[in-house]
């Protein structure tokens, strides 16, 4: 591949292997929004389905349709090699295991100067069999030789990479997730949204956003809600997301006699509107990297009750910016929810403190700037060696 011409923008290809809602998708928008266009030219590669490709195209970005198979394949590697060569890519940046493994091999064979991978969540937290988890970690470790830097979105993920994956510490850099305040601005009024989802005037409303998988702990949330349902007879819980547990969770809501309180809203593009309409956000997760749902809730000025795990604890460093409870503990979750619902002034102050903290420490602009510095440092080392 040709050497980078002095003064020319660094050409970066961002690679996603799927269009499932998650950290990788959020970061694609953030890279497109906050890239330094004098120093960088970003392009994007991902499957053609879903709203993400069109959304990026509407922003004026170049998007390539790339479908990676569920198993490692030489045809997929060849496709990526050709794309990198044709587009003169200087930095190939992949996100999560399937994209990472293919990108490292393809980037090495195509002579891409710098290969970077981001790990948004540990494979040991994937909703797959333990044997598959170990296979994914092995694939990451075996291809690490062709990767210049691994970005972990939290120190908890970095620790997993060192201990669970066997990655050397000098290969890993922690770059915390950040939020784009512009994307948190609601487009509809609080009253309009509450009416749309069938909330009675004055009723308390909770929101939890996430894939309907065991990791996100919707079952724990529902058990907590069942414990306080009589205290708050008009309480509404908005469950936003899709996933394999939807039918099971609908059944659980019926078993707990809270089906009238729970609204399964599926995947939504109007989360900013929903955040503006609710009183409290919960994250009952069993594991997390550094969840955007937490950052966005806090950045929107909402009070949050979350589990004391991983990247969540890394965000809640300042006392009073959220309430933390143990995992797998519906009683503690119910008690924390009750405390905040019973004291709206306290919840409002918590939301304001949370917003101040996020806007100081977790911005999308800051995240993108850190990643761009990594690209520049790695390219400088490559050209000087």
Average model confidence (pLDDT) for the chain?
93
Same domain? 307 vs 321: yes
Place of tokens 């709203």: 51
pLDDT over 70 at 1, yes or no: no
Q: Put the strands of the sheet holding 10-16 in their side by side order.
A: 62-65, 40-46, 10-16, 91-95, 114-119, 149-152, 172-174
Q: How wide is the angle at C-alpha 55 spanned by C-alphas 39 and 379, nearest 5°?
A: 25
Mean pLDDT, to the nearest integer, of 88-104? 95
pLDDT at position 137: 87
Indicate the pTM of the whole model.
Answer: 0.89
18-to-37, 83, 95, 118 alpha-carbon distances in Å? 26, 18, 10, 14
Is residue 1 situated within a structural domain? Answer: no
Q: Which CATH number characterizes residue 254's domain?
A: 3.40.50.2000
Is residue 223 situated within a structural domain? Answer: yes
Measured distance CA(293)–CA(38) in Å, rounded: 31
pLDDT over 90 at 256, yes or no: yes
DSSP 277-345: H-SEEEE--S--SS-HHHHHHHHTT-EEEEES-HHHHHH--STTS-EEE-TT-HHHHHHHHHHHHH-HH
Measured distance CA(315)–CA(135) in Å, rounded: 30
Same domain? 149 vs 81: yes
Same domain? 25 vs 91: yes
- Percent of the chain whose predicted confidence (pLDDT) is above 90: 81
Is residue 5 situated within a structural domain? Answer: no
Same domain? 293 vs 333: yes
Same domain? 254 vs 371: no
pLDDT over 60 at 2, yes or no: no
Q: Is 330 left (phi over 0), alpha (psi -120 to 50) or beta?
A: alpha
Say how many domains are in the chain.
Answer: 2
Is residue 4 situated within a structural domain? Answer: no
Q: Is the Cα torsion angle 227, 125, 71, 68 positive or negative in sign?
A: positive
pLDDT at position 189: 95
For the ranges 22-31, 95-104, 333-342, the one whose mean pLDDT is highest: 333-342
pLDDT at position 126: 79
Q: What is the rounded (10 degree) CA torsion for 77, 80, 84, 86?
A: 110
**Would you mind telling me the total number of residues written for the chain in this entry?**
385
Question: 31 is in which domain, residue-wise?
Answer: 10-178+364-384
Mean pLDDT, to the nearest integer, of 126-145? 87
Mean pLDDT, to the nearest integer, of 221-246? 97
Asked if 123 contacts 99 with a C-beta cutoff of 8 angstroms, the reply is: no
Same domain? 153 vs 256: no
Is residue 2 situated within a structural domain? Answer: no
Strand partners, 42: 12
Same domain? 125 vs 189: no
Is residue 221 situated within a structural domain? Answer: yes
User: CB-based contacts of 32: which residues, under 8 Å, 6+ apart?
Assistant: 42, 44, 56, 59, 61
Same domain? 173 vs 299: no
């Amino acid at each position: 591949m040709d050497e980078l011409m002095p003064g020319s923008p660094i050409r970066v290809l961002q690679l996603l292997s799927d269009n499932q809602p998650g950290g990788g998708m959020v970061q694609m928008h953030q890279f497109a929004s906050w890239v330094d266009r004098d120093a960088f030219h970003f392009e994007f590669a991902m499957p053609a389905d879903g709203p993400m490709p069109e959304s990026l195209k509407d922003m004026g970005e170049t998007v390539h349709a790339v479908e990676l198979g569920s198993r490692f394949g030489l045809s997929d590697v060849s496709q990526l090699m050709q794309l990198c060569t044709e587009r003169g890519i200087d930095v190939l940046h992949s996100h999560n295991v399937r994209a990472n493994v293919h990108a490292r091999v393809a980037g090495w064979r195509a002579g891409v100067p710098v290969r970077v991978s981001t790990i948004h969540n540990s494979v040991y937290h994937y909703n797959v069999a333990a044997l598959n988890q170990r296979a994914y970690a092995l694939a990451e470790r075996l291809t690490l030789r062709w990767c210049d830097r691994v970005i972990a979105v939290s120190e908890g993920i970095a620790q997993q990479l060192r201990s669970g994956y066997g990655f050397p510490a000098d290969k890993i850099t922690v770059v915390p997730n950040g939020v784009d305040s512009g994307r948190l601005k609601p487009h509809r009024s609080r009253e309009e949204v509450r009416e749309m989802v069938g909330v009675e005037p004055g009723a308390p409303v909770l929101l939890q956003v996430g894939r309907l998988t065991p990791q996100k702990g919707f079952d724990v949330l529902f058990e907590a809600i069942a414990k306080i349902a009589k205290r708050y007879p008009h309480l509404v819980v908005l469950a936003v997301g899709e996933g394999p547990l939807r039918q099971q969770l609908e059944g659980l809501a019926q078993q707990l006699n809270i089906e009238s309180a729970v609204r399964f809203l599926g995947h939504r593009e109007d989360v900013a509107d929903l955040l503006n309409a609710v009183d409290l956000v919960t994250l009952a997760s069993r594991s997390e990297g550094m969840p955007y749902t937490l950052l966005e809730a806090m950045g929107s000025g909402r009070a949050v009750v979350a589990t004391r795990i991983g990247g969540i604890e890394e965000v809640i460093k300042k006392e009073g910016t959220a309430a933390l409870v143990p995992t797998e503990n519906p009683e503690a979750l119910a008690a924390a929810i009750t405390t905040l619902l019973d004291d709206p002034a306290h919840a409002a102050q918590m939301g304001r403190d949370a917003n101040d903290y996020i806007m100081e420490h977790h911005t999308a602009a800051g995240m993108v700037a850190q990643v761009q510095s990594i690209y520049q440092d790695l390219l400088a080392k490559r050209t000087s060696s």
